[in-house]
Copies of this chain bind each other. A is one copy, B any other.
Amino acid sequence: MPKQLPEDSVGIVQPQSFRWDAPITLQCGKSLPRYDLVYETYGQLNAARSNAVLVCHALSGNHHAAGYHSADDSKPGWWDTSIGPGKAIDTDRFFVVSLNNLGGCHGSTGPSTQNPETGKPYGPDFPIVTVKDWVISQKALMDFLGIKQWAAVVGGSLGGMQAMQWSIDFPDCVRNAVVIAAAPKLSAQNIAFNEIARKAILLDPDFHGGHFYEKNTYPKTGLILARMLGHITYLSDAAMREKFGRELRDGSISFDFDVEFQVESYLNYQGEVFSKNFDANTYLLMTRALDYFDPAADFNDDLAEALRQAKANFMIMSFTTDWRFSPERSEEIVTALLAAKKSVSYADIDCPQGHDSFLLDVPRYISMFRAYMNAIEVEEN
């Protein structure tokens, strides 16, 4: 007997697919002959088509942001804490669109997709995609859905960067941009973490230069290491202490190199699970998109000048213990928005969970997020 789904869930959802059946030239200069984007929607598009919200995913996210794929699903979508009836992104008011980005590995065209020119997976020949490319492909999906303007573009981390880029590249298409736990560009330390993760994948003998699909293998070790490393940066030192302390898995020290502390056990488990569900070439692409994100670069490194293009209202949120993209990085965005004379709200949420907070049910965060979203006027017809 299928379980009872929570009342504030969007319920059982079905992924859909959108095909762009013409060549697209990417920022890197290379092109794809066509592409598919897999997406989900939650809530109803109103007659005025004025209540659509685009949700952009972060590094390892996908289109499945809310609800369940079946009644037997053990877990809902990755942002189910924030998307649903009465939630921060209230599906009683909004029509939510969530897609897997180009280059992804959950149904959208990416490195594991068959290259129509060779009949083999693209692998390492899949072109580098950037946040700007994603925005362009998301705009194609928007047009396909008959939406002229997003009530809001919303995202955390790399997702927040897409919301910023949308506001700059398509100012008339975004009424509100909600940018959570993001940064205007990566720091040298951020890039360094990405580089080690990539290196772990690239140097894994099972990577085979990215052509591992044909070898019926995958760079498991590289993916495990990349995910373990990523995970450290998602949690605050305090959150790790609270969650694991220095507790030993078996109560006493065993004097060897086996997994011994709870935190080791947790990271190893997270790494194992991730390695089975994520494509290594996609991981490389996503981290590079992060490295390259720098909307000010086209405007003489002046972020205010870049954001001057925007017509959206902005909501910027950060978390006090986030050391991946610290509050100071969000404040850089706020400062630039103020300099550009934009409408901006900013909340720095005091909570111990670090970067991951944007995915969690942190009461103060959710209530600020909800208040902002609820204030967005949705013209009813």
Contacts and interface: CB of A to CB of B under 8 A. Distances in A.
Contact of A263 (B191, B256, B259, B268): B191
Contacts of A244: 188
Interface in A268-325: 268, 284, 288, 291-292, 294, 323
A294 B246 contact: yes
Tell me how many chains of this kind the complex includes: 2
B202 A225 contact: no
A244 B190 CA distance: 12
Contacts of A323: 323
B189 A255 contact: no
Contact of A187 (B237, B253, B291): B237
Interface stretch (A94-102, A192-200, A341-349, A357-365): A192-200
Given A188-B243, A188-B246, A241-B187, A263 B195 contact: yes
A366 interface: no
A292 B284 CA distance: 35
Given A192-B267, A196-B267, A268-B199, A255 B128 contact: yes
Nearest to A198: B257
Contacts of A203: 221, 224-225
A240 B292 contact: no
How extensive is the interface on chain A, given as a class? 35 or more
A232 interface: yes
A264 interface: yes
Nearest to A263: B188
A263 B190 CA distance: 10
Q: Classify the interface of chain A: helix, strand, loop or mixed.
A: helix
Nearest to A128: B255
A224 B199 contact: yes
Contacts of A47: none
Contacts of A261: 188, 191, 195, 291
B264 A185 contact: no
B191 A256 contact: no
Contact of A196 (B192, B232, B255): B232
A195 B264 contact: yes
A15 interface: no
A33 interface: no
A80 B38 CA distance: 59
A186 B228 contact: no
A245 interface: yes
Contacts of A22: none
Interface in A190-244: 191-193, 195-196, 198-200, 202-205, 221, 224-225, 228-229, 231-232, 235, 237, 240-241, 243-244
Contacts of A27: 255
A259 B196 CA distance: 11
A251 interface: no
9 contacts: A28-B255, A187-B237, A192-B232, A199-B228, A199-B268, A202-B257, A204-B221, A225-B225, A246-B294
Interface of A: 27-30, 127-128, 185-189, 191-193, 195-196, 198-200, 202-205, 221, 224-225, 228-229, 231-232, 235, 237, 240-241, 243-246, 253, 255-257, 259-264, 267-268, 284, 288, 291-292, 294, 323
